[in-house]
Amino acid sequence: MIIMDSESLNGKNITELPESMKKLYEQARELIENNDDIKIYTHIDCDGLCSGAILSEILDRLGKEHEIQWVNLDELQDLEIKNQLTIFSDLGSGQPVDKNANENQSIIILDHHPPLRDLDYNANCNYLEINPIHHGIDGSYYVCGGGLCYFLGKEFGYEDLSWIGVLSAIGDMQNSRTGKLEGLNTTIVNDAKKNGLLEIEENDLNLYGRKTNPLFVSLSRFSDVKLPITNNQGRAKKILKDLEIDGTVPLSKVTYEEKGKIFQELFKEIMEIVPSKYIPFVPKLLMSDSYEFLNENKEEFLSDASEFSTSMNACGRNEEYETAHKVLKGNRQEALDSLEGISKEHKRNLAKSIERVAKRTDEEIDEGGIIELDNIQYFDGYGIPANIVGTVTGMILGEGNWKKPMIGLSQTDEDNIKVSLRCSKLLSYDEKAHFGHIIREISQSVGGNGGGHAVACGAYIPVDKRNEFIENFNQRLEGIIEK
């Protein structure tokens, strides 16, 4: 197998907190120690759930009564601040959360998304924002919301929370560019390893389901580039049989030599179809470090960071926040049965939604299924809940043209549409194709707002701006997308 050099990518890869951030964490610690009326607002995805759990655990250990509320971004526009201290995690930087606060109240924001305000911002309240972007650190790859909350925990000496920081980073796809956790995430990883909580298998095959899926299933779900095996379990079984590899065991049971054979087979097939500009990136498309939690049962899915993060996202998408919170804080006996049921129901909902997109025949809809334009492809998610349209968009990508980003649309109410975008990692390696930045630009141009990662992002736009958004996005990518 080929090992990629992460230093070949541009970016400020700082592994230790800058002094300017350390001072902010000291101030955050003082605010928490000096307040007793505390509320946490956190996001609903894996990163947000991990962020909220870390903050809640910190406050529990300090004996601080507190309330936690899981919210989506659109719920923060006119938020009423009622508590003495309000903490926002994995959100808040891009929303006007302080506009209803007064001079007797305090706000802490721990967020890695692009901020509306700079470090010199003058607020109506005692305002403290910790955002890596203010310090020249890319929040897409080098630290996420859960990581920022972990550093607050570390300020109090709680290094045993580092494993949740690692989980949040994997759930937030912080490793999507190089297959490794880098930057400030490196410190979190090292703390987890030092405390006997984490083990890493470097340069593992980048296939989902290391613990629970038979190998042939994992192989058939490879969709970053559409190959003959994509969504074709029979083809995947045949390849593994030809390679003399047992396809019924999970990836975690496969030897290093066998993984090398699979890598070479995938590499060969991808090289035959990708445009030349993507060829240098193919090895890191196929490999990534695997992160295993040593405080979990080695045979169960919670021991694998990728599968654990998926179960947390399932909770978030199904509004089962309390279950995720209990699992993350160690209350497993009560929550694990619920978690298994949530995951199964989530898979059923996804399967129904994917079938609805792929096989829609509603006569009242002029255009059904996946609609392909010059530079994008999209589908209208009629009947698909907005909270899972992003996951559906990623899964349906394997049915479309991998050379173009896939956009899913789902109406949230009579006035707004949720937009979700997913793309092959190969597209995101083009520096001009940071779709998180592009979706923010296009959504704001039509009166909405959005953002996210290069490979996975989203927005909310007005219903009557749907067509304009699609047209503008398609035009914006002219000359960027390889035809």
Q: Where are the beta strands (DSSP E) in 170-252?
A: 198-205
- pLDDT of amino acid 158: 98
pLDDT at 337: 82
User: Is-contact 203 291, C-beta < 8 A?
Assistant: no
Name, of 257-261, 279-283, 358-362, the range with top average pLDDT. 257-261
Using an 8 Å Cβ cutoff, are 48 and 145 in contact? yes
Q: pLDDT tens digits for 435-469?
A: 988 999 999 999 998 888 888 999 999 999 999 99
- 35-48 mean pLDDT: 97
CATH T-level fold of 7-158: inorganic pyrophosphatase (n-terminal core) (3.90.1640)
Between the CA of residue 82 and those of 52, 101, 105, 293, 367, what are the distances in Å? 19, 8, 8, 38, 47
| Six-digit token string for 203 | 């340069």
Confidence of residue 252 (pLDDT cuts 50, 70, 90): very high
Condensed to tens digits (0 to 9), the pLDDT of residues 116-132 reads 899 999 999 999 999 99
Examine the pLDDT at 392 and tell me if it is beyond 50. Answer: yes
The mean pLDDT value for 299-316 works out to 94
* Rounded average pLDDT over 3-28: 73
- Domain borders along the chain are 7-158, 202-342, 371-476
Comparing 53-57, 108-112, 259-263, 428-432, the range with the smallest average pLDDT is 428-432
pLDDT per position as a tens digit, 155-172: 999 999 999 999 999 999
Residue 309: the pLDDT is: 97
pLDDT band at 12, cuts 50/70/90? low
Give per-residue burial for 236-259: e unless 16+ CB within 10 Å, then b: bbebbeeeebebeebbbebeeebb
Classify domain 371-476 at the CATH class level: alpha beta
Give Cα separations from 101 to 9, 128, 478, 479 (angstroms). Answer: 41, 13, 44, 46
Look at residue 10 in the predicted model and tell me its pLDDT: 39
Identify the pLDDT of residue 343.
85
User: Who has greater pLDDT, 453 or 146?
Assistant: 146
pLDDT in tens, 316-346: 999 999 999 999 999 877 788 888 889 888 8
What's the pLDDT tens digit per position in 341-379?
898 888 888 888 888 887 654 444 445 689 999 999 999
The pLDDT value recorded for residue 153 is 98
58: confidence class by pLDDT, cuts 50, 70, 90: very high
- Burial of 50: CB neighbours in 10 Å, binned 0-12, 13-18, 19+: buried
Note the pLDDT of residue 205.
96
